[in-house]
Amino acid sequence: MFGRRSDGYLIKNIDPIVAMMPHIMKDRNDAMVQLQYEIDYGKLARYVVSKEQEGIKLRFMDVVIAAFVRTIAELPELNRFIINKRIYARGTLSVSFAVLRSNGENVSDVDENTTKCYFDPHDTIFDVSRRITEVIEEARKPDADNATMRLASKLLKSFVARPAVSLLMWMDKHGIMPKFVIDASPFHTSLFLTNNASVGLPAVFHHIYNFGSTTMFWSMGAPRKRVDIGPEGQAIRARVMPIGVTVDERVAAGRVFGMMIARMMRYFSDPSLLEQPPQTVNTDEGHTVRIPAKG
């Protein structure tokens, strides 16, 4: 209430133009900016294989999320969100994603569990991988019933869902949504990631939800072949992994998003840079992010 929230801190020193954007573009779907960039799949694959030979198992998703975590450590403005036209520094660093619990051939056999994984901006790629593995293993248990799924089950019936969601959105708008709901909600997160590559689908440009506080939605697509032009004009075949990126442009200036892409591409080009903790972790107006205690 009055700018106070359990999941973030009100930004006080902000560029006047950026501060005006939530009043001009009131909803996230008004402010979506979408772009696609391509990662050199060969470099990623060689890195993952080299780590496997060292006895370290990494997923492509681990590299993508580790690059995101490192970028947030350097550019904390990207971890902001907007509620009720106010701009906040998020109190946590998290990524939400769906976990397949079964891979049956029939559609009715496929079961998903949406979960949220928290990170520390000091994390290395190995820390990120460990945290993701723990969350995935928990979500894939036959009797897995995390807070997200319990909350969704209670809102399953439409006569309950409509008024309940309306009430939750009103409470969120005024900063009085219960903390356990925010912790359970996959829509209150730094990034929502869908790994379409894991099921052979292309990258998509996914919308950002108006419910919650997510300001970024990324989609990893299945690798594809591309022909580039070499330095001497020759054709060069390459394999790339496309990533569809949707962001809420209101949270930061355009140059900050430009810096995000440049740094992400640097880490994708050389993931070994993520093997050591960052030398410096920047804060947003002095606010550090935390990993919530397991309760």
In a domain, 93, yes or no: yes
Helix (H) or strand (E) holding 257: helix 254-269
Residue 290 lies in a domain: no
Using DSSP, state whether 164 is helix, strand or coil: helix
Q: What percent of the chain clears pLDDT 90, i.e. is strictly above it?
A: 59
Q: How many domains does the chain contain in total?
A: 1
- Residue 251 domain boundaries: 8-274
- Residue 146: the pLDDT is 54
Q: Residue 257's pLDDT is what?
A: 92
Token pair for 242: 């496309």
Kindly state whether residue 12 falls inside one of the protein's structural domains.
yes
Task: Give pLDDT < 70 ranges for the chain.
Answer: 1-3, 101-111, 142-160, 294-295
194/132 Cα distance (integer angstroms): 14
Q: What are the residues whose beta carbons fall under 8 Å from the beta carbon of 122, sequence distance 6 or more?
A: 73, 277, 278, 281
Tell me the C-alpha distance between 177 and 174, whole Å.
8
The H or E element spanning position 191 is: strand 191-195
Domain assignment present for 3: no
**pLDDT at residue number 110:** 58
Nearest to 4 by CA among 119, 77, 89: 89
Residue 197 falls inside a structural domain: yes
pLDDT of residue 4: 79
- Does 282 map to a domain? no
User: Considering the domain boundaries, does residue 32 fall inside one?
Assistant: yes
pLDDT at 181: 86
Model pLDDT, residue 53? 96
Residue 295 forms part of a structural domain: no
Burial profile 212-231: b = 16 or more Cβ within 10 angstroms, e = fewer = bbbbbbbbbbbbeeeeeeee
Q: Which two tokens stand for residue 89?
A: 């520094």
CATH number at residue 167: 3.30.559.10
Q: What is the dihedral of CA 251, 183, 117, 19, to 10 degrees?
A: 0
